[in-house]
Copies of this chain bind each other. A is one copy, B any other.
Amino acid sequence: MKDHGDKPLSNTQRAVQQLRSMILKGELAAGTDHLESELAETLGMSRTPIREAALMLESKGLLEMRPRKGVRILHVAPEDMREIYDILTELESLAAQRAAEARYSSADLKFLAGTIDQMDEAIQAKDLEAWADADEAFHTELVRLGKNRRIEDIVSMVNDQVRRARLTTLFIRPLPLQSNEDHRAVYTAIERGEPDVARERHKKHRLQAKAVLLDILEKHRLSSL
């Protein structure tokens, strides 16, 4: 997970990383506007790399560039979450299927198994942050095993949007006890080479997660994140 090629990162790339991180952490709050020149000053560079970075983040759906109003950090509304979860459901389920078709060895699946164990531990320890990290690692790895670069990109893109929602909802939501049962079932199906099982089980898992999340959003009247 680290960029161990430590070549002198360009300003544009740094701007992308920093802005993204600030948005995900909520330091740049949803709905707020920021002038290019402000951001430039904040990050200690000129407007040019800021503009380029903003353009990229715009195409990733994190913000919107509005002439004369600055860049606006986008909300994630419940309707957005519905859209996003639907996409994740479909694409990850396919990835699970493909992973099962690929007949990976246990060694290949070691990392995936590890994330499941981490989730168990995190739940024991009631450490929600750790659970969330491991959960994300599980899903990322699953998609990677599905061997479709474009799906990886798409999923990672929409995940950036989910992450903000998680920031708010993580501590509201009930302990995800059922969740790891699903993960194990998906894992087992992949290991055994049962594509349909892997697919359907993961789909069920995602639909469940979607239902839980939307329920929370409704109950707490969270109309934007």
Contact = CB atoms under 8 A, between A and B. Distances in A.
Interface residues of A, number: 23
14 contacts: A51-B52, A55-B56, A56-B59, A59-B59, A61-B150, A83-B148, A83-B149, A83-B150, A84-B150, A87-B91, A87-B150, A87-B151, A87-B154, A154-B154
A62 B150 CA distance: 13
Interface of A: 51-52, 55-56, 59-61, 80, 83-84, 86-87, 90-91, 93-94, 98, 148-151, 154, 158
Contacts of A94: 86, 90
Contacts of A98: 86
Contacts of A93: 90
Given A56-B59, A86-B94, A150-B158, 9 more contacts: A51-B52, A59-B60, A83-B149, A86-B151, A87-B150, A87-B151, A90-B90, A91-B91, A154-B154
Nearest to A55: B55
A183 B36 CA distance: 47
